[in-house]
Amino acid sequence: MNNPLIKKHILLIVFFFGTFLFFSCNNPNVKPAPTAHGLAGDIVVVMQNESWNSEFGDSLRAIFEQDCPAVPMEEPLFDLHQISKEKFKDQNLYHRNIIFLEINPNIEKPKISIIKDKYAKKQIFVNIAVRDLPDYIELLEKNKDALIKIFLEADRDRWVETIQTHYNKTVSKQLRDKYNISVKIPKNYQLYEYRDTFAWMGHETRDYTMNIIFYSWTLTDSSSYSPQYLIAMRNLVLKNNVPGQLQGTYMTTETKYDYPIVEVINHNYLETAIMRGLWRVQGDFMGGPFVAYYKKDIPRKRMVCMEGFVFYPNNEVRDKIRLLENSLYTFDLLK
């Protein structure tokens, strides 16, 4: 590879209608690339105007601008910013997330190529090469979930890399020593409460608050990762530990208008349940999004949770709750 803008190490992933191929190159003479810029959740789409205003653009918007789940207002999964190929130069080359459409009837086989660090460090560049519209629609349909995951994980990994060296070492150590957990708490968070099985940290501004809480309870034979069980236990913990502003009010889980989503994954080599949904205050008009990571600590016979929630009334909160989840992604149990 002789492009002088390509980083020393490149991972190229190619989708042939669902087939993954991996390539890499190593060129010691490559000049160091600049660091990618742009906001989390933003994607620059390099596509000619006539394509953007046709079914090519419609199909892409249907995937990336679909409603974001588990937020109180209508927000898209991503914010797309289209530019023509003629404008894809200078600073536009260095955006963190890029989708580039190539339409050519001579293309042998339609494919999606994902290149890391093509023009800038910490950049994800997605090249979609197709012969025509039917190729394009079929390729997107077969790979839409993978494409969403790639951009979500890229934004997450950038934040996780940053927080590894820029975090509140004092609060993180207090949690480690008292609760036998490892987690990177952002630098600007303060520790509000610190009890046997519950801790509360937060960052507050004039307009919004972002909160992280830790809680645990004893494992029993009925303990599970089912939504019903996790919601019931969450509500019990919050009722006892997170009061509202008015006397007799407390935080609980919204289940009537928006039921939480539970996903079980392997996180840091341990089965983990992730619950995303909306919280509200029983007896008051307050609410917002939350995300919680649950892990079974078998040696200590307890269920352990790190949860983040946002209060930013009448405003978009997608990026804030994602930022909290990115911090929770550093959560692990000590051996």
Rg of the chain in Å (alpha carbons):
22
pLDDT for res 28: 54
Average pLDDT of the chain, as a whole number: 92
**Is 237:228 a contact under the CB 8 Å cutoff?**
no
Amino acid at 333: L
pLDDT for res 27: 53
pLDDT for res 17: 44
For residues 156 and 265, give the distance between their C-alpha atoms in angstroms, rounded to a whole number.
16
Reply yes or no on whether the pLDDT at 2 is more than 50: no
The pairing of beta strand 97-103 with beta strand 124-130: parallel
Q: What mean pLDDT comes out for the span 93-100? A: 98
Reply yes or no on whether the pLDDT at 157 is more than 70: yes
Q: Which residue has the higher pLDDT, 11 or 88?
A: 88
Question: HEC states along the chain?
Answer: CCCCCCCCEEEEEEEECCEEEEEEEECCCCCCCCECECCCCEEEEECCHHHHCCHHHHHHHHHHCCECCCCCCCCECCEEEEECHHHCCHHHHHECEEEEEEECCCCCCCEEEEEECCCCECCEEEEEEECCHHHHHHHHHHHHHHHHHHHHHHHHHHHHHHHCCCECHHHHHHHHHHHCEECCCECCCEEEEECCCEEEEEEECCCCEEEEEEEEEECCCCCCCCHHHHHHHHHHHHHHHCECCCCCCEEEECCCCCCCEEEEEEECCEEEEEEEEEEEEECCCCEEEEEEEEEEECCCCEEEEEEEEEECCCCCCHHHHHHHHHHHCCCEECC
pLDDT tier at 30, thresholds 50, 70, 90: low
Q: What mean pLDDT comes out for the span 243-272? A: 96
Reply yes or no on whether the pLDDT at 287 is more than 60: yes
Note the pTM of the prediction, 2 decimals.
0.89
Reply yes or no on whether the pLDDT at 22 is more than 60: no
pLDDT for res 33: 80
Q: What mean pLDDT comes out for the span 48-69? A: 98
**What CATH architecture is 169-333?**
3-Layer(aba) Sandwich (3.40)
Give the domain ranges of the chain: 9-163, 169-333
pLDDT for res 52: 98
pLDDT for res 18: 45
Q: Which residue has the higher pLDDT, 130 or 25?
A: 130
Residue with tokens 């509000």: 192
pLDDT for res 176: 98
For residues 250 and 301, give the distance between their C-alpha atoms in angstroms, rounded to a whole number.
28
pLDDT for res 29: 59
For residues 158 and 178, give the distance between their C-alpha atoms in angstroms, rounded to a whole number.
29
- Render pLDDT for 207-239 as a digit per residue (tens, 0 to 9): 999 999 999 999 999 999 999 999 999 999 999
Q: What mean pLDDT comes out for the span 65-89? A: 98
- Render pLDDT for 121-146 as a digit per residue (tens, 0 to 9): 999 999 999 999 999 999 999 999 99
Q: Which residue has the higher pLDDT, 171 or 10?
A: 171
